[in-house]
Structure 1
């Protein structure tokens, strides 16, 4: 739950960026809203914990299950680059 409480604090302290309004809306759907207390009910807690587990699994798949040919570091070896992405957007 620490991730979610930290995220709630960030949402309340940082400047909200227009590029992320959709994400702020998604967070609001699960009770993480600017200017409101962090939700403490068991249903929300269960949703957030499950979301964290799902996100971890998805990140591991994206980082470690690439089929890109350039993922291999050396020919003939099983060493692979982790988290290959086309464009970072930074």
Structure 2
């Protein structure tokens, strides 16, 4: 496998291996790519959830983000934490393997 060098290549890899996340209306969710030193973090972007009065609500629990290695193109899932935390978890996984 050829390692990715652009966000578009990263998205091609992710779309070929994982189901595409959907919005509540069934349309595909936007996928955002965050590049960092040893990989690319890919996460789905969902609109904010609000209650009937329009107040923001917490996101539902669960889910994951995907990291694509810059070196190998391999993919790994990490918990759906904020970007920096997810990247730190990936680094920790790579150091222990």
Select the structure that is richer in helix: 1
Relative contact order (alpha carbons < 8 A, sep ≥ 6): 1 or 2 greater? Answer: 2
**Does the TM-score normalized on the shorter chain lie above 0.5?**
no
Select the structure that is richer in strand: 2
